[in-house]
Homo-oligomer: A and B are copies of this chain.
Amino acid sequence: MLRGDITVAIRNAVMTELAEVGYGRLSIEAVARRAGVGKTAIYRRWSNKLEMVMEIVSEIAERKVPLPDTGSFAGDLQLLLLIVSTALRHRMASQIIPDLMAEAARNPQIAETLQRALRTHQTAVGEKLIGQAITRGELPRGTDPDVAVDMILGPLYWRLAVARQPIEEDYLEKFTAAVTAALRATA
């Protein structure tokens, strides 16, 4: 029986190492070193760097995020923005996600794993959010959830993970107003 505490130590080490040096330069030896573990313990669990990283990352990525339902679209939206922006501010997310995204452009297996994890949540959240708003009459019936998701997550991701600019206090409010107006116009 594989020891659970060792597995946990390895998982943590992989995530830390991933944030620090990225997938490309992540080495099994460094993971073992950081976890305070023999290489054998790792190879007893996974046979590859790729397999190891994918198993660990997708396990984390598939944790369900509770969908907001505050009673109004503006409330839902602001809460969602808050959740996403908080998540993206964390070092783990803001370093690991872009890194794996870049890697996904090269490795189909990474791409598939990531896309599944990401798109599943994405469309789920988008459709629920937009659906609720339409039911409430806050958005026109023809609103495109696809465009909506892009208009919501895109700027946030851009600003936090790409441009790496801070989000000031009034930004989220302006942004909420902008997105609401934008979505009404897509119908």
A residues whose Cβ falls under 8 Å from a Cβ of B = 20-25, 94-95, 98-99, 101-106, 111, 115, 118-119, 122, 144, 147, 150-151, 153-159, 161-164, 171, 174-175, 177-186
Contacts and interface: CB of A to CB of B under 8 A. Distances in A.
Contacts of A21: 24, 106
Contacts of A174: 144, 147, 186
A101 B98 contact: yes
7 contacts: A21-B24, A95-B106, A101-B102, A150-B155, A154-B159, A157-B157, A181-B182
Given A101-B162, A115-B163, A144-B174, 20 more contacts: A22-B103, A24-B24, A95-B102, A95-B105, A101-B102, A105-B164, A119-B163, A147-B174, A147-B178, A150-B155, A150-B159, A150-B175, A151-B151, A154-B158, A157-B157, A157-B158, A178-B183, A178-B185, A181-B181, A181-B185
